[in-house]
Structure 1
Amino acid sequence: MDTSDRTALVVIDMINTYDHEDAELLVPSVRKAAPAIARLLRRARAGDVPVVYVNDNFGEWRSHHGELLETALAGPHAELVEPLRPDGASLFVVKARHSIFYETPLHYLLTQQGVGHVVLCGQVTEQCVLYSALDAHMRHLRVTIPEDAVAHIHEDLARAALGMMSRNMDADIRPADDIFL
């Protein structure tokens, strides 16, 4: 396999306390998406596929990924975070804006790992996942979105976002269990 054909599983914003605006709309969708994300994580780890967590820092500029995880696990929805927590081999990138690429070292990291294909899972479909898929497409990465492993705030906007990713970004949209890792 050409190394630029290597796949990475990218987990977006799943280390979360869910104490923000719209959380009450998001949490039910996260509950539905989390099992599919957990299955993707197990398959990626078993197959030696790079797993990269890209997560908001929630304005905590002095924190690192361990502190973000500890805070989320101490929060009111730790049961959503625990099954998806990074393991010792996981890579972690902190972001401050919607796109996983905006002013982060992610593209460089993926290049160093020989990644040409990203599977984007996590939250929020109509926000961070959509903008990240666009930025991945603009960087000539192949994009796959497991439709059952992304969580939304607004279902109608999420459906539209998935349609846009498929049509405008050539993203492969399919169930998580149908994705080859």
Structure 2
Amino acid sequence: MSTPQNGDLHGNAPENSPTVILIIDIINDFEFPGGDELIKHTEPVVNCIAELRKKADSKKIPVIYVNDNFGKWQSDFRTLLKHCLTKTSKSRSLVGIIKPRRKDYFVLKPKNSGFYSTTLDLLLDYLKAETLIITGLTADVCILMTAADAFLRDYKLLVPSDCTASINANDHQQALSYIKRVLRADTRPSDQIIF
């Protein structure tokens, strides 16, 4: 079943959706210091995000991939995805599970926050989003920064604990604790989220 064309965004978009899922930096080659450790923590997370996305699909909740450009300023999202799906990429199987579908949105970010110097504000405003479910990598950096910026914009936040990962387990727990305490996010596991 396809989504009707929407002329305002020049593509497929619901007229509005009070809830939106953000998938942060999951399209990733893990080719950086700590990447091998992070990929181990990411493996169970990808399956939880995929299940959450499936549940969201049944309620027509849009998904926005918010991804770092990894310093490749002449790249685009499709090029990053293609790179992560090559036979030599250590993230190939993970990215294959959670890769974007035609109906999903994507925003490339130059820094840690999904809001900084991106079109995310515009897209969320158009969708009339009120609640953001933030998932992906890493809880202690990009998810934390994106959640803080979302909090400052008065979004209601859900950051499911089983849909995030960090290089270090202690840093991960501290970040989730901060996100819950200071940013007032709901951090319950994804299987407890009711749409």
Matched, 1:146 2:138: no
Task: Give 4+ residue runs of structure 1 displaced > 4 Å after superposition.
Answer: none
Name the counterpart of 1:8: 20
How many residue pairs match? The answer is: 179
Name the counterpart of 2:39: 27
How far apart in 1 are the matches of 2:193 and 2:34? 30
Greater Rg by CA = 2
* Higher-helix-fraction structure: 1
How far apart in 2 are the matches of 1:106 and 1:143? 15
RMSD between aligned residues? 1.3
With normalisation by structure 2, the TM-score equals 0.88
Unaligned runs of 5+ in 2: 1-14
Q: Percent identity?
A: 32
Name the counterpart of 1:48: 60
How far apart in 1 are the matches of 2:155 and 2:177? 18
How far apart in 2 are the matches of 1:21 and 1:174? 30
User: Would the aligned equivalents of 1:118 and 1:141 in 2 still touch at CA under 8 Å?
Assistant: yes
Deviation of 1:4 after TM superposition, in Å, equals 8.1
Unaligned runs of 5+ in 1: none
Q: What are the superposed Cα offsets for residues 66-94 of structure 1, whole Å, 9 maximum, x if unpaired? A: 11100011112200100100000000000
After TM superposition, list the pairs within 5 Å mapping 1:117-136 onto structure 2: 117-136=131-150
With normalisation by structure 1, the TM-score equals 0.95
Name the counterpart of 2:103: 89
Q: What are the superposed Cα offsets for residues 138-161 of structure 1, whole Å, 9 maximum, x if unpaired? A: 010011011001011111111111
Bigger relative contact order, structure 1 or 2 (CA pairs below 8 A, ≥6 apart): 1
Name the counterpart of 2:4: none
Matched, 1:62 2:74: yes
Name the counterpart of 1:102: 116
